[in-house]
Copies of this chain bind each other. A is one copy, B any other.
Amino acid sequence: MRFQSVKGTRDFYPADMRLRNWIADAWRRVSLRNGFEEYDAPIFEYLDLFTIKSGEEIASQLFSFTDRGGRNLAIRPEITPSLARMVNAQINSLPRPIKWFSIPRLCRAENPQRGRLREFFQWNIDVIGSDDVLSDAECIFVAIDFLREVALTPDEVCVRIGSRPLTVAALQKTGVPPDAMDKILPVLDKRPKVSEEDFQKLSGTVGLTDDQITTICRFQDCTTLAEVREVLGDLDTDDVDDLERLWDYLQAMDVADYCVMDMRIVRGLAYYTGIVYEVFARDESLRAVGGGGRYDNLLEVLGGPAIGATGFGMGDVVLGILLEEKGKLPDLTRTLDFFVIDDSDVSLDQVTKIVAALRSKNYSADFSYKRQPIGKQLKEANRRGAGRAVIVRKDRLAIKDLTTGEQKERATGEFLENPEA
């Protein structure tokens, strides 16, 4: 075949699209009920917007291009820089806190592999204009509200919570200078994803000594906040207090059973400044389903004010694999409410009138373009995923439930009055 899609992109045939819409609808429903409003930004932006503060990994994965006017542009690999740009542009008129969500299509020039594609959809929720850890707690709550909505239990998934400032404090304690952090944090972020040997090697390349690695690992392996306090001594107690208040909120919000403190969580993006977290399958058999955290400096770096911001992203690819593995995908095969069929002695006109009447009541309804025997039309009704077939006879209708096979006769007027009876 001559034409193909590009590797790492997906064609959404109707069955795939129904699943994509089912996920996006749940994201949207959960966002709206939690008081978030939807926004979106352009699919491409000036290249600079994405290179200034997102870190090297994402900058190396950009689809960039130059337009006829010589502008350097790129397809968005994430939406947070666009969000910061938009908020900055209207900072004086937007009431705060700003609680917004989006479901952008994103592109990254990665090597396609399981759970990772070059084009995907990512749910984003953000709260801008609050320094209160309550807003971090609310973002985590919304993530968990979605996990519950799609029936993922605390036995199956969890939110692992770490802290950028505590990780930085632990690194400083071992003698790492402040200007080396941007290089070292992405290496720590890799630790849970690679072998211990590869981690040692990577750590060496960014200048960490064996002693430093040991001390950092001791911090990262803490499983309680009491242990964290012990390892760090009197360094940075405010940030431990923050994690404790976060935990209290998560308990009050009744979602603590989904949460785990885990100092291995660092996040790959450069702009995080506070609490960070990732959503994982409990058995850690897959990449992170999503993740987020506080990014208090990003708006300022992009020319705006210094105000608190925190947020969360969840992609559709790993999520889709997880939902399938755990058997949580719904049956989406019923795609048409009614398929209308003509018995041999009625005209096409009688059929199209009933189809039009059903459609005007917002039922999805269809019919065959070809005049053919009832059996063939019933087959087409099934193939099209219709819930019910409506067989049009001289003066009555036969309504056949295509799931149960049950059939009943109804008068046309009475049927159109209440088609679902």
Residues of A near any B CB (own CB < 8 A):
1-6, 9-14, 17-18, 20-21, 29, 32-35, 37-46, 48-49, 63-65, 67-68, 71, 73, 75, 82, 85-86, 88-90, 95, 97, 99-100, 105, 107, 109, 119, 130, 132, 134-135, 145, 252-254, 302-303, 335-336, 349, 352, 356, 358-359, 362-366, 369, 380, 383-384
Contacts and interface: CB of A to CB of B under 8 A. Distances in A.
Nearest to A17: B38
B302 A2 contact: yes
Contacts of A5: 41-42, 45, 82, 85
B46 A145 contact: no
A310 B335 CA distance: 22
Given A2-B302, A14-B37, A145-B359, 11 more contacts: A3-B302, A9-B42, A14-B100, A17-B38, A33-B362, A34-B359, A34-B365, A35-B366, A43-B75, A75-B75, A252-B349
Contacts of A303: 1-3
A107 B42 CA distance: 10
Contact of A35 (B29, B33, B132, B365): B365
A3 B46 contact: yes
Q: Which 5 A-B pairs have the closest CB atoms?
A: A35-B366, A65-B65, A9-B42, A14-B37, A2-B303
A67 B302 CA distance: 27
Contacts of A68: 109
A365 B141 CA distance: 14
Contacts of A34: 359, 364-366
Nearest to A134: B369
A349 B134 CA distance: 12
A42 B99 contact: no
A303 to B, nearest CB: 4
A209 B111 CA distance: 57
A35 B363 CA distance: 9
A86 B253 CA distance: 46
B39 A366 contact: no
A6 B44 CA distance: 8
A127 to B, nearest CB: 9
A41 to B, nearest CB: 6
A364 B49 contact: no
A247 B3 CA distance: 37
Contacts of A253: 352, 356
A219 to B, nearest CB: 31
Contacts of A48: 3
Nearest to A337: B33
